[in-house]
Structure formats: structure tokens, C-alpha cells
Amino acid sequence: MNRFVLSSLLALLVSFASSAQTTSSYCGTPPGKSEWLQQYQQQPTPVSARSDVFLYIPLTIHIVGTSEGEGYYDLDQLYPSLCTLNEDFAESNIQFYIQGEINYIDNDSYYDHNFSQGSQMMNTYNKPNTVNCYFVDSPAGNCGYYSPWRDAVAISNGCADPDSHTWAHELGHFFSLPHTFSGWEGTDYETNMEVPFFLDNGGEVELKDGSNCAEAGDGFCDTPADYLSFRWGCNGQGQSNVLQRDPTDSTFRSDGRLIMSYAFDGCSERFSEEQTMAMRANILSQRPNLYANPPEPVFLDTAPVAVAPVNGDSIGISTSAVLEWEPLDGAALYSVVISRHFPGIEVLLQAQYFQTTGTSVLVEDLLPSASYRWTVQAYNRYDGCTTASEPAVFSLSDPVFTSTAEAAEAFQLQVYPQPAADGTPVTVEWHLAKAETVQLWLRSAAGQLIRQQQLPGQAGRQRAQLSTAGLPAGLYLLEIRTASGLGAYRKVVVQ
Ligand SMILES: [Zn+2]
């Protein structure tokens, strides 16, 4: 590296660091236009950028946790956020997929990093020929930023929920877009301020009438004037609530639908046509390595189907349940949500979340006699826009009240002595119509498994003994079940 390059690099880094001090906490991308964009905006749009060729771009996902491996960005957020990202870019005919495995990094100084640590992180972990995206707790105090030097984006987990457009915003920067309020970074527009034709940093202020749109602001003429470098809310038409006044005294409101503005997520939804053309030209002319060999995407058109427990099932007394579903073609990850069910209440209460590549999960610490509702949703590297299975509601019945009279009668189940003194074994007797294996479970009233026995059952009258040695006095629940699914319950009292 010669001295000139080194000193200009240092100058860049210095200006980056100083600008970073003054940006708001939304986006830490250094302000200004890349040399490429400046040239692009001075020349006619290259023909290739106007073509309808579909651009399918690989992302490398880096999920950064603490040094103890905690605080990871949740995959339950990642895939739906990929869906939002692809919706944001759908009009541009640019779509994204996750390439390779997700890269988990455990490092406190990357999890909550300053720009220099972030730069080191990107330098260490960037994968070539993909767009590197780092999900961290705090990317230098911002919601996100694009690093032109490392050519990667960092996004805060807190700004990466599926309703957020931060990911699209930072990828807009990645593909050359400045803010719609370009030039105003670090300058607070105030309602009563007299706006000059030129800002202190030399930037020309974009006029409402569009007469200087090619030179001022972001240099795009289909993104109207915008002076708002802080996060702002919009009205029903997606325009800024703040009424701005340009140097000629014309008043206007900014377009909050534009993702490259600082409007709140609820306003953001699109890139303008000129922004889209610039991004496509940037990819086609500067980043051919990104779309060289696009894979054939696999979309998940249907939702997974629950196998067990299905809607309406009662699975008997237990504090655990195995949730099982049919494998879905093309699925790479299943995301399961189970929550308490109360008829008519839609909020997820006591929800537990699971992710697996398999087709079942074991859920523990359930409340015996409670009802639960569960769904499963499938994702893969191409498709975050999927739907969950139909909710299935099942109950962990209280056997004292729900043991079916019929089953109990068929078993002719007897348990004695009742109550049993501590140390005295409890005798269990039952009747089997045919020879089949029988399982016995003794559980505490809270559902904890105390004893378990499996017996090769013969037809006719059967008997087994359960030790009560060491059991605290109290109520216990005995469950008996045959291989063919017949079951019954009895209370067992230990004194
Ligand atoms: Zn930004």
C-alpha cells in the first residue's frame, strides 16, 4: 500500500468516525454518494440495468452472540424478516436467499461493537461472493449500517423483527443508494429554520419543485425533497407529519413510503424506480459475482400438517407431550409454538418456542389438566413467507375426572390398599381381554413421573405391585395403558 492510498484511507476512516458520532441512532452508514453512483447519475442508465433479468442474490447470515453464546438473533425472526426483505425488493426484481449454513459467532466485542470492532469482525468473517449480513445486539449504537470498506451490513437484533425495514434500508446502501435526505445527515431540520440553498457541508438543498433534483439530495428525481435526518412518523398518505419549507419558501412533506428515508417502519414500503434502476445497475456492472450461478429456489406452498396431538385430542395426564407433524417437501427448519389455550383468547400465554430440522419436538413442564394450542411452520433458505399449520388444541386431562367409565370398566381396575401407608406397596389389578403389553405410570399430583413399569400382559386377570417407599404423603395418580391404546386412571393416596 503506498503512502497516498494509506493516507486517503485514514482520512476516510477519520471522516467515517466523526460522521458516526453525529448520525442518529437509526443508521450508521457514512453519508454521501459512492464514486460509482456519482458517475452513474451523470451518465445515461446502462441498457442492462433496464432489462427484466431477475436478480437472485445470496446472503451469508452471521448471527453474533455474547462470548457465552447468548443473545442470538432468533431464527423465528430471521425467516419472516427474509420474507419482508423479499417483499421490499419484489418490485425491483431483486430477491435474496440464504447461502450456506448460518454462521454463529460468540464474541462480546462484536455483539456490542464500535465501528472498529465491527470492521474487524467483517474482515474476519466475510464470505466472498455473497452479501454478508451480521445480526448483533448493537452495531455501533445504530439500528444498522453498511460498511463501504468491508462491504457488509450489520443490523441490530432489536431492529430486525419482521415488521422492520432496516434490513432493506441497509441493503439499499449496499447497492449504492444514499438516504433520500442525503446531505442532511447530522443536521437537524427545525420547523422554524431558514433553509439555505447550500448546507454547511456544501451539499445543495433539494427544492420542492424538483428543478435541482439531479444535483441535490440523493440525486434521484423521483424521490421528492426530504430534509428529515431523524426518525419520523407519517400521515395516512405516507407523508411526513413535519411540514418542511424549502429555500424558495415552498412547503412540502417528505415521502415516508421510501425505504431510504428515516420514516418509521409502519410508513416504509418501497424503492423508487430510479433507485431500483441504480441498484440493478450497481449489481449488474459492479457485482456480477453475486448473481453468477443462482440456484433454483424451492418455495413451500403448503403448511405442515399436525400428526399428534391433533385438534381435540386428550393425551392423558402428563407434564410433557411429543408434538409431531408430517414432513413437508423442501422444508429445512420447522418452528413450533405451543401456548396455553383458553377458548376465545387469542394471545399466546406461557408460549414456548422450538426449532428443529426433525418432525417432532418434546415439550416439557406442561401443566397437567391444562389445554394447549400448538402450530408448526416450515422455512427454508429461499422461503420465509410461509404459513403455519392449523392450530391444534389438546388437553392434558386430569384423570380423576376424565378417566372414561368405559375404559375403567373394561380394565376392572383395582388399587389397594387405599390409602397406603408409606413403605407399603400398592397392588394394582386389572383385566385384559387379550394378551398385550401394559404400561403403568405413577405420577405426583403436579404431574411429575415417580414410577414406571412395563409388563408383558396376558389375557385375563393381572396384578402388579408398585413400591411407595420414600414417597411423601399425598395424592398420586396411576395411569395404566395397553399397547392397543386402552387406558384408565386411579387416584393413589399415600399416608
Ligand atoms: Zn441509512
Cα distances (angstroms) measured from residue 462 to each of 116, 405, 491:
74, 19, 19
What is the domain range of residue 359? 306-397
**Helix residue ranges per DSSP H, 43-189:** 47-50, 75-88, 108-111, 115-125, 166-174
Position 402 scores a pLDDT of 39
Residue pair 452/439 in contact (Cβ under 8 Å)? The answer is yes
The stretch 144-155 carries a mean pLDDT of 97
**What is the structure's pLDDT at 253?**
96
Lowest model confidence (mean pLDDT) among 80-94, 118-132, 181-195: 181-195
Domain of residue 354, CATH code: 2.60.40.10
**pLDDT tens digits along 407-423:** 667 777 788 888 888 77
pLDDT class of 471 with cuts at 50, 70, 90: confident
The Cα–Cα gap between 58 and 101 comes to: 12
56 assigned to some structural domain: yes
How far is ligand 1, taken at its centre, from the CA of residue 384, in Å? 24
Last residue of a domain, one of 397, 419, 435: 397
Q: How far is the CA of 86 from the centre of ligand 1 (A)?
A: 18
User: Which has more confidence, 1 or 414?
Assistant: 414
For the ranges 85-89, 217-221, 387-391, 410-414, the lowest mean pLDDT is seen at 410-414
Q: Which three cell numbers stand for residue 381?
A: 433458505
In Å, how far are 247, 429, 489, 494 from 445, measured between CA atoms? 76, 21, 13, 12
* 442 within some domain: yes
Ligand 1 centre distance from Cα of residue 99 (Å): 24
Residue 284, phi then psi, degrees to nearest 5: -65, -35
Cα 218 to ligand 1 centre (Å): 12
Per-residue pLDDT tens over the stretch 22-36: 334 799 999 989 999
Measured in Å, residue 24 CA sits from the centre of ligand 1 at 10
Using the predicted structure, report yes or no on whether residue 91 has a pLDDT greater than 90.
yes
| Same domain, residue pair 341 and 409 | no
Most confident of 64-73, 291-300, 355-364: 64-73
Q: Are residues 318 and 445 in the same domain?
A: no
Any domain includes 31: yes
Q: Say if residue 69 is in the same domain as residue 98.
A: yes
Same domain, 374 and 421: no
Residues whose beta carbons lie less than 5 angstroms from ion ligand 1: 27, 29
Q: Is residue 151 part of a domain?
A: yes
State mean pLDDT over 87-98: 96
Which of 362, 381, 397 represents a domain boundary (last residue)? 397
**What's the rounded mean pLDDT across residues 150-155?**
98
CATH of the domain at 454: 2.60.40.1930
Per-residue confidence band for 462, with pLDDT thresholds at 50, 70 and 90: confident
- Answer yes or no: do 368 and 419 share one domain: no
Mean of pLDDT over the chain: 87
Amino acid at 215: E
260 C-alpha to center of ligand 1: Å? 6
203 vs 182: CA distance, rounded Å: 8
pLDDT digits (tens, 9 = 90+) for 93-121: 999 999 999 999 999 999 999 999 999 99
The CA 232 to ligand 1 mean position distance, Å, reads 14
Q: How far is C-alpha 13 from the geometric centre of its chain's CA atoms?
A: 33
Q: Where are the beta strands (DSSP E) in 274-359?
A: 306-308, 321-325, 333-342, 345-356
Q: Ligand 1: distance of its center to the CA of 409 in Å?
A: 71
* Residue 45 pLDDT: 61
Taking the whole predicted model, whether its pTM rises above 0.85 is answered as no
Checking if the pLDDT of 1 tops 70, the result is no
